[in-house]
Amino acid sequence: MDILDIIDKKEKEERLTKEELKFVIDGYLNGSIKDYQMSALLTEIDLLGLSEEETIDLTDIMLKSGEVLDLGFENATDKHSTGGVGDKTTIVLAPLVASLGVKVAKMSGRGLGHTGGTIDKLESIKGFQTSMSLEDFKAQVNKINIALVGQMGNLVPADKKIYALRDVTGTVDSIPLIASSIMSKKLASGASNIVIDLKVGRGALVDNLKEAKELANLMVKIGKKNNKNTACILTNMDEPLGYAVGNSLEVIEAINTLKGNGPKDLTNVVIILGTQMVSMGLNIPQEEALEKVKENLYNNKGYQKMLEWIKAQGGDITNIPVAKHSKIIFSPQDGYISEINALEIGKLSRKLGAGRLTKDDKIDLTVGLVLNHKVGDYVKKGENLLTVFYNEKEVSETEVLSCYKFSENLVEKPKLIIDIIK
């Protein structure tokens, strides 16, 4: 077998066999296939796609390139977000469903680019430990139903290497490559049930509905093929989720949401995703799961579980730090807010220091932006639009206002839950 023949075959849009795909992945990992050869193949795949069978084969090969966790308990339920701006859903959802008896053994990532990461957010809590041994991880889930840490073990090394190359060769946005990358990692994490929050919109990995549905269908098929219950919820990411953007600011909003005082959009996403997780995790009908989720969101049990979880990982949620300075940005006119560009708000948050441009950048966990209004709200000139929390780095009023559009006419609130595919 020869990598040039394989690239040539793909160029002719012929199906690659599982053996050929394995030859490519093994060869790239052991260095016999070079970056430039892999990059040529990834570009072909980005342009021409992969068939469903090829994608399922590729996922299986990537999955088996490293360790596959055996969590040791049945029915563990995982949740994944494809990443958005202000997306603190996991911090609310994980303790909420754990309070209902669902086992959540979760690994999360750090932020990169304009999107944040759950691990960075949790590290803004004083003392919170984001790493532990596999034994301690399992023991904590057994005891309190929840543990959440950064990546551990040598899971899917093929994805680490290929993703880094995709990042610098403009091949991140290929649907089959995204599906195999996400699903290989989810399958390696050992959960039986997988719920994916697929963000769609300006601040998301996928910005159009057609591609989002294609990706969702593909991930659900891969999950089922591997005997995992899999559901994909398509949610809107044109504007930030909730009001807070920035690590510690988002943790504060997540805590308030678990106390039943969360923003409407975040609360709705939590309820919809929670219903899927509880239905799968406890093997009960959706309607029953929905009732249970709502109950524990408003009776303080989800919040109590969060306190237990944070304490178990060494954290203390009293006095979550917030940046030293703040300034309010006022509305320049009367009108309905018709746009708050999630991508641009995410970039401003990064500019303040809350996010990274490269993997090794140090970040400021206390800075960010807190919206005072959402799309569809009516504001008067001079009203508070948003507060910037900053330390050393600042953003200007002009930069903030360029994220906004206004309309004289009534603007409908965007539809948040776009579709559920399972």
The beta strand positions in 83-192, using DSSP E, are 104-107, 146-149
Which of the residues 310 through 329 are near ligand URA (CB under 6 A)? none
Q: Examine residue 119 and tell whether it contacts ligand URA (CB under 6 A).
A: no
Nearer to ligand URA, 61 or 205 (CB): 205
Set 10, 79, 88, 185: catalytic member: 185
Beta bridge partners of 326: 389
Judged by CB under 6 A, the stretch of 22-30, 175-183, 223-231, 273-281 that binds ligand URA is 175-183
Beta bridge partners of 81: 197
Nearer to ligand URA, 177 or 369 (CB): 177
Which helix (H) or strand (E) element contains residue 407? strand 404-407
Judged by CB under 6 A, the stretch of 62-70, 177-185, 269-277, 398-406 that binds ligand URA is 177-185
Task: Indicate the residue whose CB is closest to ligand URA.
Answer: 181
Active site residue 110: no
Among 89, 99, 171, 181, binds ligand URA (CB under 6 A): 181
Active site residue 166: yes
Nearer to ligand URA, 56 or 340 (CB): 56
Nearer to ligand URA, 181 or 256 (CB): 181
Strand order in the sheet with 384-390: 244-245, 368-371, 384-390, 325-330
Q: Examine residue 189 and tell whether it contacts ligand URA (CB under 6 A).
A: no
Question: Please, what's the b/e burial string for 164-174 (b: 16 or more CB within 10 A of its CB; e: otherwise)?
Answer: eebeebebbeb
Among 205, 354, 363, 370, binds ligand URA (CB under 6 A): 205
Q: HSE (CB half, 13 Å, CA atoms) of 68?
A: 16
The whole-angstrom separation of Cα 304 and Cα 292 is 15
Q: Minimal CA–CA distance to 269: which of 82, 89, 88, 419?
A: 89
Residue 87 CA from chain centroid, whole number: 7
**C-beta of 205: minimal distance to ligand URA in Å?**
5
Q: Minimal CA–CA distance to 111: which of 124, 128, 129?
A: 124
The beta strand positions in 167-266, using DSSP E, are 193-200, 229-236, 244-245
Q: Examine residue 342 and tell whether it contacts ligand URA (CB under 6 A).
A: no
Nearer to ligand URA, 181 or 296 (CB): 181
The whole-angstrom separation of Cα 351 and Cα 325 is 15
Q: Examine residue 215 and tell whether it contacts ligand URA (CB under 6 A).
A: no
Judged by CB under 6 A, the stretch of 178-186, 195-203, 265-273, 372-380 that binds ligand URA is 178-186
Strand order in the sheet with 378-379: 378-379, 335-340, 404-407
Set 57, 60, 159, 197: catalytic member: 159
Q: Examine residue 182 and tell whether it contacts ligand URA (CB under 6 A).
A: yes
By CB under 6 A, how many residues form the interface with ligand URA? 7
Active site residue 181: yes
Active site residue 15: no
Catalytic positions are: 80, 159, 166, 181, 185
Residues at the interface with ligand URA (CB under 6 A): 82, 163, 177-178, 181-182, 205
